[in-house]
C-alpha cells in the first residue's frame, strides 16, 4: 500500500495511425515502477474513475497505476468515434505504450464495465504482449446484446445510449466546422423524452437522429444492419481462442447482459488461447442491475447488509485478481465462482458453473384454457401435461405490455430490477401460471430456459416470459426474463417466418439467477408478447425491422398438453447439499 498518490491529466498516447488519445493516470507518488491497469472509456475519462467494481483511487492506493483513457473521437481524444469498430488496435497500442512508460513495470491489466468491458475483449483478441489479465464486467458475449441474440431490439437501451453518445459527437462536428443546426436540441429532446421516441413509428424514421453524421451510427445500433457481416454462429461471440490471458467476469442478476456473464466465463474455460487463460477464469454475480454502482437496494427490494459491492468486497476481489496475475501474489479472495443468493441474501462460492449438485426439475404449464391474468386458472407444477385445452390471448402492438422492472436502463419512465408485477398481471394478454404455496423453501441457482409450444395467427410475432416470486401478501417480483422473435427461433442469422396457425417449439433463454423462493411463497411464470419499451414492438407483419407505421393484432395460442408440453427447467439446489 502507498501513502500518497498523484494524478497526471491528459497524458498523450499516439496510435499506429498517428491519432493522439489522451488519458488521466492515477498512480502512487513514490517514484517507483508499478503494474498498470488500463480503462478505456467513451463516457469521459474524468467521470469514469469511480466505479464500485474498482475505482482509480482504490487501485492507486493498492500500488497500481490506473490509466483512464478517452477512446478515439471521444472528449479529450482525437480522431473519429465509430462505435465498436477500432477498439482492438487502439487497445493494443495503448497497452504497449503504457508498458513502456517509466512508471510502469511492464505488467498491464484492464478493467471496466459495459462498453469499457467490450474494449477489453477487443484488445485481448489482439494479444498485446504486455497484457497479463482483463476484468470485464456487465458486457456482452460478442457483437450483439443478450436481447438482440433472441432477435428483438433493446429499444430503450439503444436510444438512450446512442443519444448520450451523440452529445459529444455533435460537439466534435461543431469544432470541425460542420453544420450542426438543430442537432443538439433534437438529441436532448430524445434523452428527455425516451418514451416518446420509443413510441415513434416507423422506427427507421425516428427524426431525433436523422442528421448526417448521426443517422448511420443510429441505424447500425438499432436496425438489422447490426447483423451485417455476421456469417456464422461463431461470429456471434468473441474469438475466445485468441484471448491469451486470465479474466475476472463480474455482473448482476438484473443486468442487461447477465446471460453473457456466464457464456464468457464458460467459453473462456473451454476455448481460451492458453492454459493460464483457461485455468484463470473467475466469476462474480451480485443482485445488481446495469451500472457502475453496486447498491444493496435494487428496484423495490433491499437485499440485506451484505448485498452491496462494498460489503461484497468487489474492489478487494479485483485487486486480488490483479495481484495474482500482475504481481504473482495469491489471496484468499480468489475463488472461481462467487454468487449472491437472493431471498437468502448471502454470498456463496463454488468451483464450477452450473453448480455440480444441481437437480434439474421441470415445472409444467397447466390450465383449463383460462390462464389469462392472475384471475385465471393457470397452474405451474411438477406434474406432466395431460389432456388440456390451450390458452389464447390477443397481442395488439397498439397496446403493448409496459416494461416494469427487469433488465433495462434507468431511462425515461423505466426503473431496473425487481418491481411488483401485480398491475401488469391483471391484463388479459398476460398468461399467469402459478404454483400452490410452497411448503418448503426452494433454491433455484443456475441457467433458465422456457420450452414453449405456441402458434400465432400472423407471420411473425414475439413471445416473452418472466419468472416471478410471489410473496405471501400477493406482491409479485420479477426474478428473470426472456424473449424470442418467432422468425429468429432457429438463429438470429437464419430468419424464417412462421406459418400462421402452425405450432412451433420455442426455447427461450432467460439467462441465469440465484434465488430462494421462501416457504409460503409461490413461483409464477408470466407469458405474453411484449415488454415495451425495453424491447421493440413486433408489428406482426413479417416486414423488415423498423418499416411499419401500423401493426396488426396477433392471436396467440399457448399449448400445454401431452403432445406439446410447455415447461420451464429450474436448476434446483437440494437443501441438504
Would residue 114 show up in a list of annotated catalytic residues for this protein? yes
* Average pLDDT score over residue span 104-111: 99
DSSP state of 360: E
Top pLDDT among 235 and 395 is at 395
Give the model's pLDDT for residue 244: 99
Would residue 560 show up in a list of annotated catalytic residues for this protein? no
Enumerate residues 6+ apart whose C-beta is below 8 A from 212: none
The reported pTM is: 0.96
Q: What is the pLDDT of residues 109-167, one digit of tens each?
A: 999 999 999 999 999 999 999 999 999 999 999 988 888 889 999 999 888 888 888 88
Give the model's pLDDT for residue 1: 66
Catalytic residue, from 114, 158, 514, 529: name it: 114
Would you call the peptide bond into 354 cis, given omega within 30 degrees of 0 as the criterion?
yes
DSSP letters along 168-217, please? Answer: HHHHHHHHTT---TTHHHHHHHHHHTHHHHHH-SSGGG-GGG-STTTHHH
**Does 333 score more than 90 pLDDT?**
no
* Average pLDDT score over residue span 484-491: 96
**Does 100 score more than 90 pLDDT?**
yes
Would residue 462 show up in a list of annotated catalytic residues for this protein? no
Q: What is the pLDDT of residues 274-327, one digit of tens each?
A: 999 999 999 999 999 999 999 999 999 999 999 999 999 999 999 999 999 999
**Does 257 score more than 90 pLDDT?**
yes
CA distance 187 to 202: 18
Q: What is the pLDDT of residues 154-182, one digit of tens each?
A: 999 888 888 888 888 888 888 888 888 88
* Average pLDDT score over residue span 355-375: 98
**Does 328 score more than 80 pLDDT?**
yes
**Does 393 score more than 90 pLDDT?**
yes
Alpha carbon of 319 to those of 42, 111, 120: distances in Å?
A: 24, 11, 17
Catalytic residue, from 146, 154, 255, 460: name it: 255
Q: Cβ(321)–Cβ(336) under 8 Å? A: no
Length of the chain: 577
* Average pLDDT score over residue span 511-518: 99
Catalytic residue, from 249, 290, 366, 559: name it: 290
Give the model's pLDDT for residue 166: 86
Q: Which of 480, 519, 520, 526 is nearest to 374 (CA)?
A: 526
Give the model's pLDDT for residue 577: 62
pLDDT band at 225 (very low <50, low <70, confident <90, very high): confident
C-alpha of 564 from chain center: 31
Amino acid at each position: 500500500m502507498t501513502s500518497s498518490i498523484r494524478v497526471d491529466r491528459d497524458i498523450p498516447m499516439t496510435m499506429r495511425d498517428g491519432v493522439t488519445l489522451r488519458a488521466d493516470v492515477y498512480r502512487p507518488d513514490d517514484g517507483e515502477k508499478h503494474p498498470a491497469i488500463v480503462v478505456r472509456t467513451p463516457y469521459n475519462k474524468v467521470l469514469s474513475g469511480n466505479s464500485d467494481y474498482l475505482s482509480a483511487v482504490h487501485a492507486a492506493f493498492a500500488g497500481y497505476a490506473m490509466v483512464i483513457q478517452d477512446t478515439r473521437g471521444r472528449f479529450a481524444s482525437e480522431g473519429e468515434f465509430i462505435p465498436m469498430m477500432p477498439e482492438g488496435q487502439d487497445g493494443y497500442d495503448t497497452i504497449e505504450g503504457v508498458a513502456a512508460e517509466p512508471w510502469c513495470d511492464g505488467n498491464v491489466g484492464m478493467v471496466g464495465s459495459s462498453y469499457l468491458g467490450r474494449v477489453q475483449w477487443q484488445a485481448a483478441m489482439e494479444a498485446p504482449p504486455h497484457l497479463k489479465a482483463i476484468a470485464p464486467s456487465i458486457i456482452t458475449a460478442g457483437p450483439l446484446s443478450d436481447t438482440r441474440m433472441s432477435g428483438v431490439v433493446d429499444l430503450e437501451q439503444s436510444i438512450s445510449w446512442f443519444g448520450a453518445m451523440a452529445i459529444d459527437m455533435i460537439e466534435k462536428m461543431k469544432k470541425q466546422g460542420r453544420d450542426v443546426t438543430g442537432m443538439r436540441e433534437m438529441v436532448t429532446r430524445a434523452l428527455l423524452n425516451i418514451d416518446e421516441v420509443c413510441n415513434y413509428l416507423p422506427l427507421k424514421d425516428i427524426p431525433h437522429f436523422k442528421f448526417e453524421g448521426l443517422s448511420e451510427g443510429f441505424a447500425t445500433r438499432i436496425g438489422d444492419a447490426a447483423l451485417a457481416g455476421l456469417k456464422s454462429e461463431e461470429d456471434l461471440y468473441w474469438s475466445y481462442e485468441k484471448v491469451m490471458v486470465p479474466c475476472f467476469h463480474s455482473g448482476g442478476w438484473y443486468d442487461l447482459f447477465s446471460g453473457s456473464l456466464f457464456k464468457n466465463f464458460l467459453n473462456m474455460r473451454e476455448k481460451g488461447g492458453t492454459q493460464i487463460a483457461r485455468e484463470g477464469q473467475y466469476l462474480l454475480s451480485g443482485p445488481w442491475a446495469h451500472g457502475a454502482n453496486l447498491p444493496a437496494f435494487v428496484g423495490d427490494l433491499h437485499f440485506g447488509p451484505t448485498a452491496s459491492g462494498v460489503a461484497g468486497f468487489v474492489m478487494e476481489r479485483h485487486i486480488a485478481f490483479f495481484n495474482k496475475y500482475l504481481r504473482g501474489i495469491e489471496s484468499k479472495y480468489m475463488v472461481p465462482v462467487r454468487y449472491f443468493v437472493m431471498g437468502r441474501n448471502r454470498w456463496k462460492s463454488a468451483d464450477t458453473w452450473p453448480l455440480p449438485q444441481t437437480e434439474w426439475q421441470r415445472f409444467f404449464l397447466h390450465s383449463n384454457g383460462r390462464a389469462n391474468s392472475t384471475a385465471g386458472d393457470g397452474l405451474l407444477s411438477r406434474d406432466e401435461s395431460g389432456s388440456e385445452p390451450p390458452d389464447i390471448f390477443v397481442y395488439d402492438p397498439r397496446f403493448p405490455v409496459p416494461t416494469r422492472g427487469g433488465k433495462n436502463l434507468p431511462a425515461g419512465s423505466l426503473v431496473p430490477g425487481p418491481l411488483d408485477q401485480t398491475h401488469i398481471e391483471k391484463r388479459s394478454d398476460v398468461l399467469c401460471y402459478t404454483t400452490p404455496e410452497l411448503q418448503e423453501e426452494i433454491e433455484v441457482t443456475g441457467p433458465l430456459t422456457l420450452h414453449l409450444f405456441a402458434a400465432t395467427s400472423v407471420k411473425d410475432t414475439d413471445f416473452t416470459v418472466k419468472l416471478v416470486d410471489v410473496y405471501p401478501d400477493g406482491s409479485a417480483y420479477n426474478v428473470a426474463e426472456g424473449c424470442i422473435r418467432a422468425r429468429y427461433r432457429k438463429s438470429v442469422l437464419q430468419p424464417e417466418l412462421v406459418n400462421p396457425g402452425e405450432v412451433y417449439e420455442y426455447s427461450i433463454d432467460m439467462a441465469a439467477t440465484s434465488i430462494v423462493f421462501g416457504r409460503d411463497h409461490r413461483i409464477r411464470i408470466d407469458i405474453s408478447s411484449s415488454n415495451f419499451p425495453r424491447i421493440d414492438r413486433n408489428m406482426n407483419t413479417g416486414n423488415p425491422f423498423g418499416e411499419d407505421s401500423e401493426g396488426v393484432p396477433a392471436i396467440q395460442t399457448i399449448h400445454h398438453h401431452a403432445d406439446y408440453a410447455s415447461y420451464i427447467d429450474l436448476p434446483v439446489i437440494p437443501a441438504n447439499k
